[in-house]
Structures are given as structure tokens and as C-alpha cells.
Structure 1
């Protein structure tokens, strides 16, 4: 199928244990605290501490859109259904024409190694492929970020190479490991995953 991505308003997505929903301003303090954790920020594009003001700016940018739109990041809060506690967030960036999306995920340190990143990413990729019509999903991470690479591998992403000294955070540069997943590959792999 060739064509442009269809803009669809984003409604919260329920999974077995999680709810993915658009951010609200009430999420700013939790978002800033998560991004201020040095271990969380180690392989990310921000410096610590991460202010509530910065968090509010990210949230307000996402609030301008009803869902992912080309040329903008769209952030989603990820909460546990059982108690409503935020475990982290997922984000999507649609490239021009909406054929390709980049995803990312960030969890609180206490929420890691419980399968939340995988579960939330499955729901997000399902949405991107089946609702918006994305043809290709990408992800990038530091080559030493073994936990994130394990999640991407579990999701069926293929390692596509290393962009040398391509990722900048202020004056620091590092390599960037690139991963890709085509919609047809996702549909074939999706049957092997438990949602």
C-alpha cells in the first residue's frame, strides 16, 4: 500500500497492564523527575537536571496535536491500569509524508525489567501500522544501551548499522545504532508476541 499517512485523533490505548494516553500538564513533575534521573538520561538527548519548565514545553507541544503528525514528536504517558501510576512514556516522530515513524521509550528506574517498554511499544507500533498506515518504524539508541537494544530485538526490529559520531548532546558526540521494522515484518512478527 502506498499513500499518505491518515491523520487520526488519538484515543487512549489499553493493553493488558497499561494505558497509553496523551500527556497533560499534570504530568510535568513526574516527566521532569524521570528525565532528571542520571541513569535514565545516560543514553538520551537531554542533560540533567531536567526542569519542570522544560517538561511543560514538551507537553504543550504535544497538546497542539490530536495524535502523531509529520514533523513533530508526540508524547504519551504510560500508566499502570491497576493503580494509575505512571511507569514512563513513549514517543513517536512522524517523518515527512508520514510513511516512516521513529519511536522511543523511557521508563522510571523502578519500572524497568517488567516488560512495560515492550508492552507499550507493541501497542504504539500496532497503532502506527494499523491505524495511521505507517510503512516503516525506526528506532535509534546508543550502541552500549543493551537493555533498549534487547527490547527492539524482541519487537522484531532489524539492526541496520551504526552511524558513527552522529548523535549530539550539546558538545558531546556518540555513535548511534539504527534499527528498522517494516509494516509487513511487524504483521508477521506480531503473532509471536503476547500483547
Structure 2
């Protein structure tokens, strides 16, 4: 999946190096919003930092035999956020999805559409057996996404992540290939 048109408003595609400035600006516009749940935001200080993120996705493409694992979420022609597999365990055929949207793109159903497409891709193209999502306990918007698509709440990891000045617990959601249905 190099480009996946989901509908007339939303598509997923690989990041291009030319996207670095637009993507960096989205991060900066949403910085205080994103920092509540993402620990890497303060480490993104320049367009070059964003360029390095994009280049790492291209390296992963080669390592994954031509299958991309990180996607730009495009909404009406603009980068709205990102979604992808932060990690793929090839031996056990499981992937860990991560995602975020810029603040101004919230509440439009964009992430639900993108999430469904990536889960389909994970099970059908990447031939994963299990997809997992780890979400901070109090991040109710993010938790609603896997819940909406039938992921099972499998447990909680206490103090799973350090966010600037405190730890947050994570809820673990999982779904098996045999459980995935078209929603």
C-alpha cells in the first residue's frame, strides 16, 4: 500500500521527503495538544528532525520487503497526522499500531477511517496474526478507536510510559486475524 484512497476526503500514503516542512508545521501547531500523550514531541525541534523521521520510514520500507509501515494521513489534500506500525514482530506475526492527528483535524472521523484501512492492510497484506494498540488509560479519544473496531481490552501496564514529568499507565488492546471483520 503506497497510496490508499479511503474515500473522497481521506487517503493514506507514504511520506515523501518534500512533506517534512508541512508535517513539522502540523506538529508545531499541535504541540501542546500532542504533548499530553506523546513523549517525543519536545525532541522534534527542526524540519530536519522531521526529515529524519521520514527517511527512517523509507529505510523500513526496504527492510520490510517493499511493504511500508508508516503513513501520512491526508485529509482534503493536507497532512492531518500519521498512522502505522511502530513495530512489527515478524517471528510472531504481530504488529503494534500507533497514530495521532493534528488538533485541528479532530472530530471529523478521519482517524477511524485511517485505522480501519491500516488494520485491513496489516491482516491482508502483511499477513499479521495479531495487531496490538497500547493507549494511555486517560486518553479516551485514542482508546475509542480500537474499541470501535472490536479490539479486546486485554489488560493494563502500570507506569508504561514517562511523559515529561509523570508516568502514565497503558491499556493494551489486541485483535487476532480470525476476529477481524469488515466494519
- Category of TM-score, reference length = shorter chain: 0.7 to 0.9
Structure 2 unmatched ranges of 5 or more: none
Give the structure 1 partner of residue 19 of structure 2.
27
User: Does the CA-based 8 Å contact 1:45-1:169 persist in structure 2?
Assistant: yes
User: Does the CA-based 8 Å contact 1:140-1:177 persist in structure 2?
Assistant: yes
Greater displacement, 26-35 / 86-95: 26-35
1:11-90 to structure 2, matched below 5 A, reads 11-16=2-7, 17-36=9-28, 37-48=31-42, 50-51=44-45, 52-66=47-61, 69=64, 74-80=69-75, 83-90=76-83
Give the structure 2 partner of residue 123 of structure 1.
117
User: 1:129-175: CA deviations, max 9, x gaps?
Assistant: 01111000001111000001111111111111110112134674321
User: Does the CA-based 8 Å contact 2:26-2:80 persist in structure 1?
Assistant: no
Q: State how far apart, in whole Å, the 1-side matches of 2:176 and 2:16 are.
A: 31
1:132-151 to structure 2, matched below 5 A, reads 132-151=126-145
Per-residue deviation, 1:125 = 0.7
User: Does the CA-based 8 Å contact 1:35-1:48 persist in structure 2?
Assistant: no
**1:68/1:127 CA distance change after superposition, 3 Å:** farther
Give the structure 1 partner of residue 147 of structure 2.
153
TM (normalized to structure 2)?
0.86
User: Does the CA-based 8 Å contact 1:118-1:151 persist in structure 2?
Assistant: yes
SS of equivalent to 2:119? helix
Structure 1 unmatched ranges of 5 or more: 1-9
User: Does the CA-based 8 Å contact 2:13-2:72 persist in structure 1?
Assistant: yes
SS of equivalent to 2:99? strand
Give the structure 2 partner of residue 97 of structure 1.
91
Q: State how far apart, in whole Å, the 2-side matches of 1:165 and 1:185 are.
A: 29
TM (normalized to structure 1)?
0.81
SS of equivalent to 2:91? helix
Give the structure 2 partner of residue 5 of structure 1.
none
